[in-house]
Amino acid sequence: MSESGSVMSLPRTVIGAWLVAMMLRQPEVRRQLSARLNDGRPGWSDDEAAVVKAACELAMRAYFGAEYDVRDVTAFASQLREAAGENLAGGLMRLEALLRSALGESDVDVAGIALDAKVKSYAVATGIALHQLGFVERRVGELVAEAEALAFERGNNPPLAST
């Protein structure tokens, strides 16, 4: 991320632009971009999901830090479920497992959670964490651009927004 006064990083993928629109509460922009997600088909592609997951990983690390109490993760998962008004990830324990996985814990099982539920949970968690951290538009864009870079580094290929 840009710490100096240099040009800020902007998302360059469709999913990255969609994430920024979601986090900045830009429903019209998000609606327009939704039609381009997963090549216009319902659901999520693995490549797009990888960007959302990476954004959640970055947001969770920023929110909780390196040293965290798992009870804080449980409380945040409960807060997410309440804010979303639905049972994200198929239940509180599964949602907590997703968050702990995003924090880098390897001893949690998220294999039984459907991709759609994972993406929705990651997106909601990212949005709420960044809002509570007070991320402004610039910081949101930088975090999402960093998430895109991570997804590309991991071998994913989400569609570019310019295509």
What does the H/E/C string look like for the chain? Answer: CCCCCCCCCCCCEHHHHHHHHHHCCCHHHHHHHHCCHHHHCCCCCHHHHHHHHHHHHHHHHHHHCCCCCHHHHHHHHHHHHHHHCCCHHHCHHHHHHHHHHHCCCCCCCCCCCCHHHHHHHHHHHHHHHHHHCCCCHHHHHHHHHHHHHHHHHCCCCCCECCC
The pLDDT tens digits along the chain (163 residues) read: 444 444 457 899 999 999 999 999 999 999 999 999 998 898 899 999 999 999 999 999 999 998 999 999 999 999 998 888 777 888 899 999 999 999 999 999 999 999 999 999 999 999 999 999 999 999 999 999 999 999 999 999 999 997 5
Structure tokens at 55: 């954004």
pTM above 0.85, yes or no: yes
